[in-house]
A and B are shown apart, each in its own frame.
Chain A
Amino acid sequence: MGGREATMVLMDENGKRCDGRTVDEPRRIMIKAGGLKNADGSSYIEFGDNKILVGVFGPRDVHPKHMSDTDTGILRVRYHMEPFSVGERKNPAPSRREIEISKVIKEALEPAVMLEKFPRTAVDVFIEVLQADGGTRCAALTAASVALADAGIPMRDMVAAIAAGKVADTVILDVNNEEDQAGQADMPIGYMPNLEKITLLQLDGVLTPEEYKKCVQVGVDGCKLVYELQKKALNDKYFGNKGD
């Protein structure tokens, strides 16, 4: 969202990044399954400084009716950023960027959800970005998978997501806001580890064919890390032996 002066050191001589991480180290990730009372399923994720809440409803009746499909259920996804989630107040109306991200997240989730089991119904996924700090679409997709599972909707796999990228001519894992704006490339990846399928993939920035291959590899490996945290979140909610 606009170039910033590239005075920041993105990678120091010891291979440490601007926030102190190593090249293949993700930010702090905390995922919680559940949390909302009214939603059929929900989740909350903190991914570095991103804070995102996801609520899932359905399968339920489709409104407007003409959107319903007699052969299969439909998935609807709304990705929305709060006006206070970014530095300068964001207009609350959905932007073109938000509409596109809603669409790519929907398409990333569709292969995972067994919609054919619920003809004429809709599953609605509402993603609310409370605070944004680079990589919201990956964090949102990760959280949305957990919320769908929390809603008890039959799934083939969960989609885990993280971005690979390139800063200071080095391929890195988990691109933060500074690296996104001043770095050379950003490649968000969504991956289903059990089915070994990539369901979300975007790229902006220039990569050589070798760097391209490496980015995909680094991203897929990162998704496998995120996947373990998704499973842990569900495990904690449904099989946790906490005293509360």
Chain B
Amino acid sequence: MASHTVIDELKRNQILELLEQGKRVDGRSLDEPREVSIETNAIPKANGSARVRLGDTEVVCGVKIQPDRPFPDTGDKGLFICTAELLPLSHPTVETGPPGPEVIELARVVDRGIRESHMIDVSQLVIEKDKSVIGVFADNVVVDYDGNLFDACSYAATAALLSSKSPKWNWVDDAPTLVEGEEVDVPITTIPVSVTMAKIGKHIIVDPNGDEWASMDARITITSDSNGNICALQKGGDDGFTQDEIVQCGEISVRVGAKIREKLKEAQQGGQ
């Protein structure tokens, strides 16, 4: 999506002109995210899953929960790993092959937002200390692209984790042994919500769509938790923000995030 065409240039001019009048190309207000629709348990073979549409961006996330070896220095903690991948069917310019810097950044930012919020209490995911722990893997795949993959993947992963049920293992004969027919809740402590904002000219807009994404000068993704605290942040793009803008973005992210958190809670209750 890095290709810049004459059409992009014209679109940018139009987007900027509209922003000067306080309007956006799709009629939203500046701090209004697109409609989020969340379908949980879309993949029954996964331990938890969600199919999320953020406008026309669509992401499927599946959670797999399985015994794993702990990291050598954290034998008293389970694993949480979140990935993201762009499928070639999501956009004509996406190719197969190893992920480029954009996709690596995407996966790491989505992972960081959830990890740093301590949404999953990994200290409760230990089967036998230093020997065997439970690993929670949330894998996002982007199936349709219309900008702002950061938030779409983050909501999909969060919704999928909220819908997850974990199998149970006991430590028997030096090996983790599955307890048939038993399911336990995944230890959830908070619901992190990321809000991505783009800066176009001197305007800051929430949840940029594909055209706005291609036109932006800089972006910032801020994740807040259920207490309204900020737990992760990533600035990107070729321009900078002033100190006042950074503070303003923090406030917007907490306010907009609270509304989206309600949607995630609804989806969790609806899925049960």
- B216-257 residues with Cβ-Cβ distance < 8 A to A are 218, 220, 225, 228-243, 246-247, 250-251, 254
The interface bits of chain A over 171-210 (1 if a CB of B lies within 8 angstroms of the residue's CB, else 0) are 0000000000000000100001001111111111111110
Contact indicator A206/B74 (Cβ below 8 Å): no
Contact indicator B77/A220 (Cβ below 8 Å): no
Contact indicator B242/A197 (Cβ below 8 Å): yes
Contact indicator A4/B220 (Cβ below 8 Å): no
Contact indicator B101/A198 (Cβ below 8 Å): no
- A96: Cβ under 8 A from any B Cβ: yes
| Chain B residues within an 8 Å CB radius of A220 | 243
| Chain B residues within an 8 Å CB radius of A200 | 235
Contact indicator B101/A102 (Cβ below 8 Å): yes
**Residues A217 and B243 in contact in the complex (CB < 8 Å), given A3-B74, A206-B231, A209-B229:** yes
Contact indicator B77/A100 (Cβ below 8 Å): no
| Chain A residues within an 8 Å CB radius of B71 | 2
Contact of A198 among B241, B250, B254 (CB under 8 A): B241
**Residues A96 and B104 in contact in the complex (CB < 8 Å), given A2-B74, A209-B250:** yes
The interface bits of chain A over 73-111 (1 if a CB of B lies within 8 angstroms of the residue's CB, else 0) are 000000000000000000000001101101110010011
- A118: Cβ under 8 A from any B Cβ: no
- Distance between A162 CB and nearest chain B CB, rounded to angstroms: 14
| Residues of chain A at interface, number, CB under 8 A | 35
Contact indicator B233/A187 (Cβ below 8 Å): yes
Contact indicator B246/A216 (Cβ below 8 Å): yes
Question: Which residue from chain A places its CB closest to the CB of B100 in the assembled complex?
Answer: A99
- Distance between A127 CB and nearest chain B CB, rounded to angstroms: 15
**Residues A209 and B116 in contact in the complex (CB < 8 Å), given A100-B105, A111-B239, A196-B243:** no
Query: Could you say which interface size class chain B belongs to?
Result: 35 or more
Main secondary structure of the interface of A (DSSP, over half): mixed
Contact indicator B234/A202 (Cβ below 8 Å): yes
Compute how far the CA of A199 lies from the CA of B107 in the bound complex, rounded to whole angstroms. Answer: 21
Contact indicator A212/B250 (Cβ below 8 Å): yes
- B112: Cβ under 8 A from any A Cβ: yes
Contact indicator A107/B101 (Cβ below 8 Å): no
Contact indicator B108/A96 (Cβ below 8 Å): yes
Contact of B77 among A3, A111, A192 (CB under 8 A): A3
- Distance between B122 CB and nearest chain A CB, rounded to angstroms: 10
- A213: Cβ under 8 A from any B Cβ: yes
- B196: Cβ under 8 A from any A Cβ: no
Contact indicator B242/A209 (Cβ below 8 Å): no
| Chain A residues within an 8 Å CB radius of B254 | 209
Question: Which residue from chain B places its CB closest to the CB of A97 in the assembled complex?
Answer: B108
| Chain B residues within an 8 Å CB radius of A209 | 228-230, 250-251, 254
Compute how far the CA of A102 lies from the CA of B116 in the bound complex, rounded to whole angstroms. Answer: 22
Compute how far the CA of A227 lies from the CA of B225 in the bound complex, rounded to whole angstroms. Answer: 34
- B92-121 residues with Cβ-Cβ distance < 8 A to A are 101-102, 104-105, 107-108, 112, 115-118
Compute how far the CA of A115 lies from the CA of B77 in the bound complex, rounded to whole angstroms. Answer: 47
- B182: Cβ under 8 A from any A Cβ: no
Contact indicator B101/A100 (Cβ below 8 Å): yes
Contact of A107 among B229, B232, B237, B243 (CB under 8 A): B237
Contact indicator B235/A198 (Cβ below 8 Å): yes
Contact indicator A204/B229 (Cβ below 8 Å): no
**Residues A198 and B233 in contact in the complex (CB < 8 Å), given A3-B74, A111-B238:** no
B108, B235, B242, B247 pick with most chain A CB within 10 angstroms: B235
Compute how far the CA of A223 lies from the CA of B195 in the bound complex, rounded to whole angstroms. Answer: 26
Compute how far the CA of A198 lies from the CA of B77 in the bound complex, rounded to whole angstroms. Answer: 36
| Chain B residues within an 8 Å CB radius of A197 | 239-242
The interface bits of chain A over 201-241 (1 if a CB of B lies within 8 angstroms of the residue's CB, else 0) are 11111111100110011001000000000000000000000
Contact indicator A216/B232 (Cβ below 8 Å): no
Residues of chain A having any CB pair with chain B under 8 Å: 2-4, 96-97, 99-100, 102-104, 107, 110-111, 187, 192, 195-209, 212-213, 216-217, 220
List 20 additional contacts besides A107-B238, A209-B228, A213-B247; criterion CB under 8 Å. Answer: A96-B107, A97-B108, A99-B104, A99-B105, A103-B101, A103-B104, A103-B105, A107-B236, A110-B239, A197-B242, A198-B240, A199-B239, A201-B246, A202-B234, A202-B235, A203-B233, A205-B232, A206-B230, A207-B230, A208-B228
8 shortest interchain CB distances as A-B pairs: A197-B240, A203-B233, A199-B240, A201-B235, A110-B238, A2-B73, A103-B101, A204-B116
